[in-house]
C-alpha cells in the first residue's frame, strides 16, 4: 500500500507579515487613551479625578497631544452634569492644563468663566488660588465648588481665620484644593510667609484672578507688583511640576489692553 507523504504543517501555514512591536505598543496606548476618554461620562465619581489626571499626564506626551481637546471636552462635560461645554471654555482650560501659557479670558456675564478655574485642580491635582473682589462672591463660589468631585474649597477672610485659627496650617498641609480669598488677604504678610514655604509653593498650580477689572479699579495690580519682587511666589513659575503650570489666569468681564503688560495672552472669546 502506497502511503502519501504529508507536507509539514509549517509549510501549510501562511507566514504572517512582520509587524514592528513598537508600533503595536504605540497603537495599543493610543487606543487605550481613546477608550478611557470615551468612558469619562460613566467613570465612578470617586475615580474621576485620578482618571483625568492620569490622562492629562499621558496627553502631555507629544505623540498624544491630539487627544488633549477631547480629554478637556469630555472632562468638562462630566463636571457640567452632561451639558455640552462651550468651545472657548475648552480652549481656555486646555491652554492652562497643558501649560501653553498665561491666559486671559474675556467673556460676558453668564458665559461660565468660573468652571474654567474650578476644574483646574481636578485635572492637574494641584491647588488653585482664586482671588475674588468680594467676600459674598467668595461664599457663592465656595458653595459651587463643593459640588465638584473631591473638591475641598476654603474661603480665607478675617472672619474665617478667626473662626478657624488653624486655617493656614490646614492650607499648608494640603487639605484644600481651592483657596478663595480677597486681595487684602492675598497681600498680607501672613499669607506671603505661607507662600514662601517650599512645601506649600510646590502644591500651587494656578493663581486665578476673578473680575480683574474690579481689582484694577481698587488700585490693585498683583501680577505687576509680583514681577518686581524676586522673593514673591506670585511671579515665580519655577514651582510648576510636570503636569501643573504655575500661571495667572485672568477672568473678567471687561478687559483693558494694559493687562497684557503682565505677560498674559488674551484668548479671543
Q: Could you read off the pLDDT of 151-176 as tens digits, one per residue?
A: 999 999 999 999 999 999 999 999 99
Predicted TM-score (pTM) of this structure: 0.73
**Res 214: pLDDT:** 60
**Res 191: pLDDT:** 92
Assess contact for 74 and 44: CB atoms under 8 A: no
Give residues with Cβ within 8 angstroms of 28, minimum separation 6. Answer: none
**Res 29: pLDDT:** 55
Domains and CATH numbers, the chain: 23-85 (no CATH), 101-267 (3.40.50.300)
Q: 103 pairs with which residues across the strands?
A: 249, 265
Spell out the per-residue pLDDT of the chain, length 269, in tens. Answer: 555 555 555 444 544 444 444 444 455 555 689 999 999 999 999 999 999 999 999 999 999 999 999 999 999 999 999 999 999 899 989 988 997 677 777 777 778 888 998 999 999 999 999 888 777 788 999 999 999 999 999 999 999 999 999 999 999 999 999 999 988 898 899 999 998 888 888 899 888 887 766 655 555 554 443 333 333 344 343 333 222 223 445 554 444 444 444 444 444 44
**Res 1: pLDDT:** 54
End-to-end CA distance of the chain: 89
**Res 212: pLDDT:** 66
- Sign, CA torsion 222/229/187/208: positive
Give residues with Cβ within 8 angstroms of 92, minimum separation 6. Answer: 103, 105, 116, 267, 269
**Res 7: pLDDT:** 54
Block residue for cell numbers 489666569: 249
Assess contact for 267 and 102: CB atoms under 8 A: no
Neighbours of 266 (CB within 10 A): 14
Q: 105 pairs with which residues across the strands?
A: 251, 267
The fraction of the chain above a pLDDT of 70, given in percent, is 67
**Res 160: pLDDT:** 95
DSSP letters of 118-130?
A: HSHHHHH-SEEEE
**Res 80: pLDDT:** 96
Block residue for cell numbers 477689572: 213
**Res 105: pLDDT:** 77
**Res 3: pLDDT:** 53
Residue 108 φ then ψ, to 5°: -75, 165
**Res 258: pLDDT:** 42
- Average pLDDT value for the chain: 76
Assess contact for 133 and 215: CB atoms under 8 A: yes
**Res 268: pLDDT:** 43
Assess contact for 67 and 37: CB atoms under 8 A: yes
**Res 266: pLDDT:** 40
Amino acid at each position: 500500500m502506497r502511503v502519501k507523504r504529508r507536507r509539514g504543517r509549517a509549510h501549510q501555514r501562511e507566514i504572517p507579515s512582520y509587524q514592528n512591536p513598537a508600533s503595536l505598543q504605540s497603537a495599543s496606548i493610543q487606543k487605550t487613551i481613546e477608550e478611557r476618554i470615551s468612558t469619562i461620562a460613566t467613570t465612578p465619581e470617586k475615580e474621576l479625578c485620578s482618571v483625568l489626571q492620569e490622562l492629562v499626564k499621558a496627553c502631555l506626551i507629544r505623540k498624544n497631544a491630539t487627544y488633549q481637546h477631547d480629554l478637556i471636552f469630555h472632562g468638562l462635560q462630566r463636571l457640567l452634569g452632561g451639558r455640552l461645554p462651550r468651545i472657548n471654555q475648552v480652549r481656555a482650560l486646555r491652554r492652562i492644563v497643558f501649560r501653553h501659557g498665561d491666559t486671559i479670558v474675556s467673556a460676558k456675564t453668564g458665559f461660565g468663566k468660573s468652571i474654567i478655574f474650578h476644574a483646574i485642580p481636578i485635572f492637574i491635582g494641584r491647588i488653585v488660588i482664586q482671588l475674588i473682589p468680594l467676600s459674598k462672591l467668595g461664599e457663592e463660589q465656595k458653595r459651587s465648588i463643593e459640588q465638584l468631585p473631591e473638591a475641598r474649597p476654603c474661603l480665607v477672610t478675617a472672619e474665617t481665620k478667626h473662626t478657624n485659627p488653624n486655617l493656614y496650617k490646614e492650607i499648608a498641609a494640603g487639605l484644600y484644593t481651592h483657596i478663595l480669598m480677597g486681595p487684602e488677604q492675598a497681600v498680607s504678610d501672613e499669607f506671603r510667609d505661607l507662600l514662601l514655604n517650599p512645601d506649600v509653593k510646590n502644591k500651587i498650580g494656578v493663581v486665578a484672578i476673578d473680575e480683574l477689572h474690579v481689582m484694577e479699579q481698587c488700585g490693585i495690580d498683583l501680577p505687576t507688583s509680583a514681577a518686581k519682587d524676586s522673593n514673591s511666589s506670585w511671579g515665580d513659575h519655577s514651582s510648576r511640576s510636570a503636569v501643573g503650570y504655575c500661571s495667572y489666569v485672568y477672568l473678567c468681564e471687561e478687559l483693558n489692553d494694559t493687562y497684557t503688560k503682565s505677560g498674559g495672552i488674551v484668548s479671543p472669546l
